[in-house]
Structure 1
């Protein structure tokens, strides 16, 4: 694709990640958007040097989340036009592609892979519920079988005992409320291992590995503000691993890996947004030989979901090599290889920087400010290269989605695009963000929702008082999904602060959002925002659409027509009401996109137009 402007090249910088090891070769597969949207690639692994890659898929829409099976075949997922109805494809070792699923109205979620089975979940019988299936390997010679139909919650198969007679599943009642279920696949008997422990108090549980039939390594915030390591017993007891608290001081993440017979388990720690990879040996009541891996750059192990990749790190079967998705502010996201014997590391393949000099990429700096109630709130600051304008740089406040998410100092082509165009970037993790513990997460719940918007206001005031590099009279509020709600809310709650706003697939009305979001998401989102049955007045009170008379700055809205998370109607109703009132608003729709912009052509079209618009206004 020919890029019409040098700034647009920043949007074309490649992102690659989600490695998976071939069972018998020094070969990895991963997903990359070098073609313009995610496709699946493979490359040989050779010590110390990047290797050329081979493209395995050539589809019109994104292909994501690749996983090698024990027989050497490779599975992956693909949706259409951003609709997130992911189907499962299989590539034989000879390169022949087969589509294993074909119900384009349903979504299939790849789960656990064992020596004998692929476990997955799908909403085939009820679009609001995901049943659990298993499929004997080789998949082309067998058919899937139903193993569990939940009564509530999202289910993810996370671990299996050696003979697949028992499996462990994570039940998601909300993004911040899970349980661990034990299913006997022969009898169909299921036990909730954490219900009595938690006593109905919302708790996060992440299954790491099964040590033996009685002991399971987990990461949880049970009786803790931060997510910590512990041992969950099948007898429904929990043992926290207290001894290592002085060595692991920050919150642990949901990225971990081990091989079948390995004594070592690899896991990640989130240190104010930066990642440290640890490894250790677990016993039934302790973690020994704990050590941290070192890399040539301080960065992030970015994880995602089915829209990109769910597994960011992967240990080879022989335990000799660790494949890691790694990124920093100045290093585009790529797969790195760690040789476990000598702990040397190198990129698996060359990343495409679209002809740009990587030395022009900008690393953020980490800062904090005290909000209206003296809460310490972190943010990253990016300043453009070049001479500062006399009044300081215009600045974009970029608010992340979620809200149970976190903006991190990894490589973001959109951020680098705006930096190259002369805008500073301020990226806060306002209250309600992940990575800082349970108390911080819960500070924006229900009637406290607008406290997070006050954080944005007080960050703007902090910038005005203490950041001479930034022109506080030229601030732009910008965000996607929940961050799009934050844009609309900040512009209606504190309109005096903003020169312009950019809302990407944002929530304008929490009542209509919950009514129209995909059925499988409704209960998960009600757990965060409040329910239509019990909290309707709070939902109305926090909805920006009821306060648009306060809005004064121009607004630019971007929306995908196939968005099942925040439906098109959320953007349309905001746009139409603002137009009716004669306020300055633009809407840019994409018929082949969903929740955000996945295709390079669309990203260039949208962000270049936003940049032209901002340059005229700000």
Structure 2
């Protein structure tokens, strides 16, 4: 049966069935592997040439969440969980025979993919197999398709909390590890696999390190924001730990209104010295590439990038990866009107090929709409960046339009709404809703200082930024001030609940996806490995309990006056489902209309297309009734 045709002429299933393709990785022979949700959940697919009919390699209903091709042979490792519970298991897949072999089989533990060994005979990853609140480092022999994989060998006991394998040394005897204390504070250190000793390379200052590569000249190439408000490509000495900026460095603040931006992705090929990186310019990507010249500072060199031509990116580029001999560069591309797909370009070329062209299920181009980037002033005079999108054919200055509007608040909070392809947004635009997507204080993408503006006792300032966004909407002639919807996921769900308790008069309805209702119960019940990381952002149970109670939406729930839709997954390890249950019960006791949708086979994200369709059909009906 076709999905229900609504006011926009298109049902939600048409939008949600538009494929999402990402995570490109090349095998040594040049085969491109990707993740695609063509079958309803992300699975591994391959295509031999641009636009060719792809072949599906993994046949499961559970989502595949990570994919990495071997550096030495035609095989790959992928990660898959059960019921979106994030307890990933790792599986090896031999492309020559199609044989799959589990590397891990411990469904109560979370296995976080790390890196292949340089010879393709081992992999390294972290897992909380011994203690739910502690990630340790494991190295495991992959073995041949005719034999079982080796047993996981624990090579390092972690200090507690989240730990990540960032890189495997080119000689196979070292691992680079990162330990996150918070979203903007990481330790970086090297583990010697022979001795078990570690050596810290970070300097104790607040900084992040990602996309780490051994450069072959005594250094690590990475994206870091050490001693900078914004992130750049840096070369970090393995001897002294000193960092030398290589590309993308700017000593200005990245706060809204400036032109200092974060580097947010990096690919590097050690044999050729070729690298590629992207810069996040107000949410949109610029792609850069070149050849690394010069050694690390300790060797007396000044690392730099000799640039080459690159394609213009109309939207966002991510997941950069080089193919064999760095002749080709693949990346995930999306824009507000272009679904996620994988593009490939030749190194030094200014043109890219869409390797995985994604259709739109017969929807015309007129059904997809670009946002306008705007800024609005908030309570303290600061400018808040946002994306503003109107439905088709609307005159923004016509007061007779009287449109309903959705204020869509991102999660994180160390996250950024960007102009990517967002099928449910396009669906609501076609139903006649305008959409405002603010990057309130605390968002990433605008430098470290901006990201810290909502920490702990400043938490509610970001909620005030949402209210200021509604004030801006009140100044838009085409918007009906009495039909504004608060809408958000995860931390964005907290922001929704906080907005309707702190500013109840502003909202006609609210939609909360997997949101935090009470910071104390959230921190008590979230995954053990996450608690200290989240306390660094929100405040700790030990030191800030009363404050956390005070700002929790559940404490002020009597203020809620608008109808509320609450969605959650029973398997959510991040924000436990109890958050949804307690807020729904409290609002219902007030006599305010509440609708809940809890999936027993989902977690923090709804990953099944069937469930997504049910979810957004229910939300659309809820908004039709109340807005």
Q: Cα deviations across residues 263-287 of structure 1 (Å, max 9, x unaligned)?
A: 1111121110011122233332321
What residue is the counterpart of 2:81 in the other structure? 79
Choose the corresponding residue for 1:299, options 302, 308, 315.
315
Answer with 507-516 or 232-241: which moved more.
232-241
Deviation at 1:370, TM superposition (A): 1.4
What residue is the counterpart of 2:513 in the other structure? 504
Query: Quick one: structure 1 residues 16 and 587, their matched pair in 2 at CA, closer, same or farther if it must change by over 3 Å?
Result: same
Choose the corresponding residue for 2:590, options 581, 593, 597.
581
Answer with 397-406 or 231-240: which moved more.
231-240
What residue is the counterpart of 2:543 in the other structure? 534
Q: How does 1:519-558 map to 2 (within 5 A)?
A: 519-558=528-567
Answer with 607-616 or 512-521: which moved more.
607-616
Contact 2:222 2:233 (C-alpha < 8 Å) held by counterparts? yes
Q: Secondary structure at the match of 1:124?
A: strand
Deviation at 1:101, TM superposition (A): 1.7
What residue is the counterpart of 1:407 in the other structure? 417
Answer with 173-182 or 132-141: which moved more.
132-141
The yes-or-no answer on 1:349 pairing with 2:366 is no
What residue is the counterpart of 2:66 in the other structure? 65
Choose the corresponding residue for 2:277, options 245, 252, 267.
267
Contact 1:205 1:220 (C-alpha < 8 Å) held by counterparts? yes
- With normalisation by structure 2, the TM-score equals 0.92
Contact 1:276 1:293 (C-alpha < 8 Å) held by counterparts? no
Query: Quick one: structure 1 residues 527 and 247, their matched pair in 2 at CA, closer, same or farther if it must change by over 3 Å?
Result: closer
What residue is the counterpart of 1:52 in the other structure? 53
Q: Secondary structure at the match of 2:194?
A: coil
Q: Give structure 1 stretches of 5+ with no counterpart.
A: 303-311
Q: Cα deviations across residues 387-437 of structure 1 (Å, max 9, x unaligned)?
A: 558243211000001000011001011111111111111111000000000
Query: Quick one: structure 1 residues 398 and 291, their matched pair in 2 at CA, closer, same or farther if it must change by over 3 Å?
Result: farther
The yes-or-no answer on 1:340 pairing with 2:344 is no
Answer with 326-335 or 79-88: which moved more.
79-88
Choose the corresponding residue for 1:186, options 194, 201, 207.
194
Deviation at 1:471, TM superposition (A): 2.1
Q: Secondary structure at the match of 1:611?
A: helix
Q: Secondary structure at the match of 2:3?
A: coil
What residue is the counterpart of 2:299 in the other structure? none
What residue is the counterpart of 1:123 in the other structure? 128
How many residues are aligned here? 599
Q: Cα deviations across residues 320-347 of structure 1 (Å, max 9, x unaligned)?
A: 1111100000000101111225332111
Q: Distance in 2 between matches of 1:276 and 1:612?
A: 40
Deviation at 1:202, TM superposition (A): 2.6
Q: Distance in 2 between matches of 1:515 and 1:215?
A: 41
Q: Distance in 2 between matches of 1:261 and 1:515?
A: 48
The yes-or-no answer on 1:288 pairing with 2:305 is yes
Contact 2:135 2:158 (C-alpha < 8 Å) held by counterparts? yes
Deviation at 1:245, TM superposition (A): 3.8
Contact 1:480 1:596 (C-alpha < 8 Å) held by counterparts? no
Deviation at 1:359, TM superposition (A): 4.0
- With normalisation by structure 1, the TM-score equals 0.93
Deviation at 1:64, TM superposition (A): 2.7
Contact 1:213 1:234 (C-alpha < 8 Å) held by counterparts? no
Q: Distance in 2 between matches of 1:96 and 1:114?
A: 21
The two structures, once aligned, show a CA RMSD in angstroms of 2.0
Q: Distance in 2 between matches of 1:528 and 1:127?
A: 21
Q: Distance in 2 between matches of 1:279 and 1:605?
A: 43
Q: Distance in 2 between matches of 1:24 and 1:473?
A: 59
Contact 1:173 1:524 (C-alpha < 8 Å) held by counterparts? yes
Q: Secondary structure at the match of 1:367?
A: strand
Q: Cα deviations across residues 12-39 of structure 1 (Å, max 9, x unaligned)?
A: 21111000101113x2111111211111
What residue is the counterpart of 1:383 in the other structure? 390
What residue is the counterpart of 2:23 in the other structure? 18
